[in-house]
Structure 1
Amino acid sequence: MNQISESRMELPVTRREWIKVSAAFAAAISTQDLLAAKMDPPLEIIDCHTHFYDPSRAEGVPWPAKNTSLYRTVLPQNLRELPQYRPVTGTVVVEASPWVEDNQWLLDLAKDDPFVVGIVGNLNPGVPEFAEHANRLAKNPLFRGIRVSSNRVNELLMTGELDDFRRLADLDLSLDVNGGPDSPQSVAMLAQKVPQLRIVQNHIGNVVISADAPPEDWVSAIQAAAACPNVFCKISALVEGAARVQNPVPTEPDYYRPYIDVVWNAFGEDRVIYGSNWPVSERGSSYAFLQQLSMDYASSRSKSALVKFCSVNASKAYKWVDRPGRKAT
């Protein structure tokens, strides 16, 4: 009996049996892949550079200017309604108005809309009333920092009046800096003077993006800012930079890649942040295109890099608020 059993075990598998086994194996693998895909959480995408405003309100708005395409009511719902490459799950809003009470207007707007996870306000450091305004606004957990121009940073570096920047750090707030291609140098100098302050370079320094190699001065400035561990960089305003050369802007990813490479290689995957600069970005392209441009680049680096770029790094820089009901809006 043992010999018979052994001889049966040694019989070759028929073609039909092999097909059945192969099909079963393939089905098992497909099921495992499907289960693995289901285990991956949806991608969290926090757009860290949007502008909201309402010219129809009684007092009007100081920005944007009348008779421009931007001069219209722009609110969170308008962003949510846009065709998107991948669904945005929240936003950090940047206040462009210099009117102090417009900071409160944004906070009031965000109060009942959990889609807004943070506000970057507009205050002027170095003036006597700065501390009062900063202390008052910081009592609202959605107020996550302020934005200033690189010119203002340079002025205060020249005079040595840096106490208000230290005050931001003491309040656990961040500082956005906006300026031209040399602005990362200013960011680097401030970061060295106030290392406890989290600083976010805006719009990769607003460099003009062309078919030429990235300007050496801009590359050096980006590398100087990236050398400071307390500095982050928003990969934003790419299409605006390209629109200065040609509009409609190029749609080939390789056109932008050399410039993104400079920023990514300098800052690494742990300090780059997604931002759209919408609705200003409309002057260069659709929201879906600019999203695809930066997210496909991040994805080409690695899956983990994409996750960090879309939300995790922004959480470190801004400490944005994960509000109940946010993803249901």
Structure 2
Amino acid sequence: MKSCTKRGDTVSRREFLTASAAGAAMSMRAQSPPIPIIDTHIHFFDTTRPQGVPYPAGKGVPGLPIAIPETFRKAVAQLGIVGAIEVEASPWVEDNLWVLEVAATDPIVVGTIGNLEPDKPEFHEYLGRYHKNRLFRGIRYGNLWNRSLVTAVEKPEFISGIKELAAADLTLDTANPRMDLLRAVIELTDKVPELRVVIDHLPGLDAPAEPAARRQFEATLRELANRKVYAKLSAVARRENGQLQTDPAFYKPRLDLLCDVFGEDRVVYGSDWPNSTGNWVPYATMLPIVQNYFNAKGRAAAEKYFWKNSIAAYRWIKRDPSQPELNA
């Protein structure tokens, strides 16, 4: 009986098994359920309120005067987003309550990060009041609202407030990273080592080109990674010469650096909606940039980035059956 395979085309047993295993792996990936996504960085506002809004510039974002759970759901329909954490973008302390009331109306919101000033005399009262709501998962402090973490970490009353925040098992989200802010986070976590910190929009911070400054930048990141600090890989999309970059290769060096330093257990996903979408890039265009990058690392790493690590970082509240949980 003649073989259908030519002599020069003989397939070895090893080659056959390798090809079969690769095919099986591809088949398994094709059959794997989609990875659920928790977006850890969105904002709410309503420019139609009688008092208006302080952010952004009192006008909302272009084409979107109202950003609430309902409009967020529409923006992410069919994209696999099952939950979100609202990060406060208003300096008005009363908007903490407004956000919590809005969040309560829709189970897609699994937590909120509020706006309180730890160095203020009323901080203890406000923290106790808002922390009674289980959706309140921490506060935001950094380079916004004319505040400075660099200055604040030198104040004993600020450190006292942060210790109270950490004792309540809540998280500090920083705002708008710069090198001085990163060094301030190191000083803060030296003084309050039990504090969980999430550094937002870290891909937006350009690494210095000068070799010595670059080494210092990377050393600072490594020091942060040795603490209870998470890197929020949010606001990733960028324009070069006026053109939105969608090629994953464009983002790989920047994401590689942050992932290599912080490791797959300390990175979390965030979109910065509606800033990222209302200004210049649709959510459906932005999301694949990080999906392509993390899917290439394998499902385990992608799951950590898109939802598992956010549980450790924020202790968010599961409110819907579609929202994943560890060891489920």
TM-score bin, normalised by smaller chain: 0.7 to 0.9
Unaligned runs of 5+ in 2: 5-20, 324-328
2-structure distance, mates of 1:322, 1:39: 26
Q: Is 2:107 aligned against 1:114? A: yes
Does residue 294 (structure 1) correspond to residue 290 (structure 2)? The answer is yes
SS of aligned partner of 2:46: coil
Counterpart for residue 89 of structure 2: 96
1:163 is aligned, of 160, 164, 179, to: 160
Q: Does 1:172 align with 2:165?
A: no
Secondary structure of residue in 2 paired with 1:259: helix
Where in structure 2 are the equivalents of 1:161-240 lying within 5 Å? Answer: 161=157, 162-182=159-179, 183-204=181-202, 206-208=204-206, 216=214, 217-228=216-227, 230-239=228-237
The structure with the larger Rg is: 1
Change (3 A) 1:87 1:65: same
Q: Is the 8 A contact 2:203 2:254 kept in 1?
A: no
* Separation (CA, whole Å) in 2 of partners of 1:219 and 1:277: 25
User: 119-128 or 288-297, which moves further after superposition?
Assistant: 288-297
Structure 2 CA distance, aligned partners of 1:205 and 1:70?
26
Query: Are residues 57 and 196 of structure 1, via their aligned partners in 2, closer, same or farther at CA, if it must alter by over 3 Å?
Result: same
In the TM superposition, 1:2-17 aligns within 5 A as none
Cα separation, partners in 2 of 1:77 and 1:246, compared to 1, 3 Å: farther
Aligned: 1:154 with 2:145: no
1:238-289 C-alpha deviation (Å, 9 max, x unpaired): 22xx34x543322221211111111100100001000000111123422122
Asked whether 1:269 is paired with 2:267, we answer no
RMSD of aligned Cα (Å) = 3.0
Decide whether the 8 Å contact of 1:272 with 1:309 is kept in 2.
yes
**Alpha-carbon distance between aligned partners in 2 of 1:222 and 1:72, rounded to the nearest angstrom:** 37
Q: Give the Å deviation of 1:192.
A: 2.0
Taking structure 2 as the reference length, the TM-score comes to 0.81
Q: Give the gaps of 5 or more residues in structure 1.
A: 1-11, 16-28
2:48 to 56, 81, 84: 56
What is the CA–CA distance in structure 2 between the aligned matches of 1:317 and 1:70, rounded to whole Å? 32
Cα 1:90–1:304 change in 2 (3 A) is: same
- Does residue 141 in structure 1 map to residue 130 in structure 2? no
* CA positional deviation for 1:184: 2.0
Q: 1:226 to 1:326 in 2, by over 3 A?
A: same
User: 4+ residue stretches of structure 1 with deviation over 6 A?
Assistant: 12-15, 32-35, 212-215
Q: Does 1:253 align with 2:248?
A: yes
- The answer on whether the counterparts of 1:53 and 1:73 sit within 8 Å (CA) in structure 2 is yes
Higher helix share: 1
> Measured at CA, do residues 126 and 83 of structure 1 come closer, stay the same or move farther in structure 2, by a change above 3 Å?
closer
| Deviation of 1:71 (Å) | 6.0
Shift of 1:88: 0.3
